[in-house]
Amino acid sequence: MIAVASDHAGVALKTEICRVLRNLGLEVEDLGPSETTSVDYPDYAHLMARAVSDGRIDHGILICGTGIGMSMAANRHPGVRAALCHDAYTAEMARRHNDANVLCMGARAIGGGVASQIARIFVETPFEGDRHQRRVAKIEWEES
């Protein structure tokens, strides 16, 4: 199960990404919005991030104008490792080395073809573990 959400700037790209993921045989939950009426991106980022943090979904994709705001809001949640990716390489490394569980993209920063490639690579790339597991564990910072 993968969930996808956006703000108003990302609705069209979100729709395309959902189609691409379903064509890959994945079960996709569209968390909205469905209209291009202005909404606040943190509302959708928190909705997605809570679902990942609570374990209701394994991975998510967030799309806003730049992807920056979505990634900042999502990363406030425990256990969420949201990565803003602009190309195939950063998407692959986000999964392979950082075990990213949320992909963030900017609808105004990348085109639909690149975004579809990034999403496909993100969902198909496994986490390498090994030496990277130790580093990923250090991401969850707890004040002592």
- Which residues are identified as catalytic? 64, 97
Amino acid at 61: I
Give counts: helices (H), strands (E), the chain.
6, 5
Residue 55: both structure tokens together:
């374990």
DSSP 8-41: GGGHHHHHHHHHHHHHTT--EEE-S--S-S---H
